[in-house]
Amino acid sequence: MSAQTLYDKLWQSHVVHTESDGTTLLYIDRHLLHEVTSPQAFEGLRLAGRKPWRLSANLAVADHNVPTTGRAQGIADPISRLQVETLDDNCASFGITEFKMGDVRQGIVHVIGPEQGATLPGMTVVCGDSHTSTHGAFGALAHGIGTSEVEHVLATQCLLQKKSKTMLVRVEGALGMGVTAKDVALAIIGRIGTAGGTGYAIEFGGSAIRALSMEGRMTLCNMAIEAGARAGMVAVDDTTIDYVKGRPYAPKGDLWDQAVTDWHTLVSDADAQFDSVVDLDAAAIKPQVTWGTSPEMVVSIEDKVPDPALESDTVKRGGIERALAYMGLQANTPMTEIKIDKVFIGSCTNSRIEDLRAAAAVAKGKKVAANVKLAMVVPGSGLVKLQAEQEGLDKIFVEAGFEWRDPGCSMCLAMNADRLEPGERCASTSNRNFEGRQGPGGRTHLVSPVMAAAAAIAGHFVDVRQLQGS
């Protein structure tokens, strides 16, 4: 057999049936559900008199609409409340496991899957949410789906799919101090653009990727969708296996040994061919900050806000001008002179324990600047929150003037009460800086957790490497 990429292997091992035109019925091992994209799917099942094909493949959690404070009082907004209650009812009536709002295991769907070992190497993982790409960090084939596909997976445990092209993004060398997986993700998007990965499944490889922790790999794969690729993935190695071991849903005993042997094959063969290859030098990546309204509108902290006058392409120039107007920025302003109003550390991109540790290390013994109205830390799950508290991170944050919240999507998309007011500027560790994403008129700058914490202390963007070096 000819050499295969990791994607080829994952694809091939899940084919149930292929039509003559290449449309493939692909088996789905893990289906994650949340409250926003599932209600119509459950109702469709009910109307058609169907049942979930395989209950144990499903795991549900409420995350988008849940409040991050005062949970004891329940959800104030009736529409949000109804969505969450509907998920509760649907899971109860169909017999699907759900981590409810009061459960310590509750959290953002893309944090809890891996945390529970519900995401395993070699799986196909889907969820009605575009950031399902996160789970590819485990050497899994993972991508987001729409509501009608949620129903399709519930009813058949399969999806109708066509194969993607493959892209290898290779990052070689060592990342500098203060440079994180988030910076790598933003640097890649800055290079290939938000449509650069369209039609591809991206594998992230190279020595810099192998050196990343699982948290870092998840951050990177999380943002594959921001580069246009539905799926991102990293090959399995000991880091992957060590992370999975002992988690509640992970196999035990003999099954574990059997699984590990299999998982070690989940790497691209040495001479496998990719449809496209992109190379980056890890040592050249600096801490990144977005300046515009798309993740590809990004520069390093040492740079300035771009000048549209220097752009010869009129369409691009118009795009820059519109973004600067929305963001309230002047061309050529050094990034370090941009003052911020709010700080959000959280989201499925950067709310895991390692992210919180790194941010706390920057905030320790310092104070949030007076011009920052709100700096909030929203752990990705109840278990991340608990662990952080056991390590005393919550105290560090609170003493520095951050708010320490309950887990959920929160100000990543502002579906709950956490949002920016019009014109407010935020240093955010989330993944989308689209217009209005964090609240109507809100201005989002995407950064890493350490850069967000540093900005909170300084009151403006600042090169975290100088802070750490001093």
Which residues lie near another protein (CB under 8 A)?
A: 16-17, 25, 27, 29, 39-40, 43-44, 47-48, 50, 53-54, 56, 79, 82-83, 86, 120, 122-123, 148, 151-152, 155-158, 160, 251, 255-256, 258-259, 262
Q: How many CB atoms lie within 10 A of CB 56?
A: 11
The C-alpha atoms of residue 65 and residue 140 are separated, in whole angstroms, by 28
What's phi and psi for 150, nearest 5 deg?
-60, -45
Q: Which does 148 bind (CB under 5 to 8 A by kind): ligand SF4, another protein, none?
A: another protein
Q: Which does 219 bind (CB under 5 to 8 A by kind): another protein, ligand SF4, none?
A: none
The C-alpha atoms of residue 321 and residue 448 are separated, in whole angstroms, by 25
CA proximity to 139, closest of 2, 10, 25:
10
Closest approach of Cβ 27 to another protein, in Å?
6
CB 145 within 8 A of CB 127: yes
Print the binding letters for residues 305-344 with ligand SF4: x by CB under 6 A, - otherwise.
----------------------------------------
Q: What is the dihedral of CA 361, 364, 366, 370, to 10 degrees?
A: 70
Q: Strand 342-345 vs strand 374-377: parallel, antiparallel, or unpaired?
A: parallel
**Minimum CB distance to ligand SF4 smaller for 157 or for 438:** 438
- Residue 271's alpha-carbon distances to 3, 154, 400, 406, in angstroms, are 6, 38, 51, 47
Q: Which does 29 bind (CB under 5 to 8 A by kind): another protein, ligand SF4, none?
A: another protein
**Minimum CB distance to another protein smaller for 21 or for 313:** 21
**Minimum CB distance to ligand SF4 smaller for 9 or for 64:** 64
Print the binding letters for residues 409-438 with ligand SF4: x by CB under 6 A, - otherwise.
x--xx----------------xx-------
The C-alpha atoms of residue 219 and residue 295 are separated, in whole angstroms, by 14
**In one letter, which amino acid is 447?**
V
In sequence order, what are the residues at sequence separation of 6 or more whose Cβ sits closer than 8 angstroms to the Cβ of residue 144?
A: 126, 127, 128, 129, 130, 131, 132, 133, 225, 230
Q: Does 115 bind ligand SF4 (CB under 6 A)?
A: no
Number of residues that bind ligand SF4 (CB under 6 A): 13
The interface with ligand SF4 within residues 355-414 (CB under 6 A) comprises 409, 412-413
Q: Which does 40 bind (CB under 5 to 8 A by kind): ligand SF4, another protein, none?
A: another protein
E-assigned strand segments in 398-454: 403-404, 425-428, 443-446
Q: Which does 55 bind (CB under 5 to 8 A by kind): another protein, ligand SF4, none?
A: none
**Minimum CB distance to ligand SF4 smaller for 90 or for 132:** 132
Q: Which does 409 bind (CB under 5 to 8 A by kind): another protein, ligand SF4, none?
A: ligand SF4
Q: Is 93 exposed, middle or buried (0-12, 13-18, 19+ CB in 10 A)?
A: exposed
Q: Which does 47 bind (CB under 5 to 8 A by kind): another protein, ligand SF4, none?
A: another protein
Strand partners, 143: 126
Q: Interface with ligand SF4 by CB under 6 A: which residues? A: 63-64, 108, 110, 129, 131, 347-348, 409, 412-413, 430-431
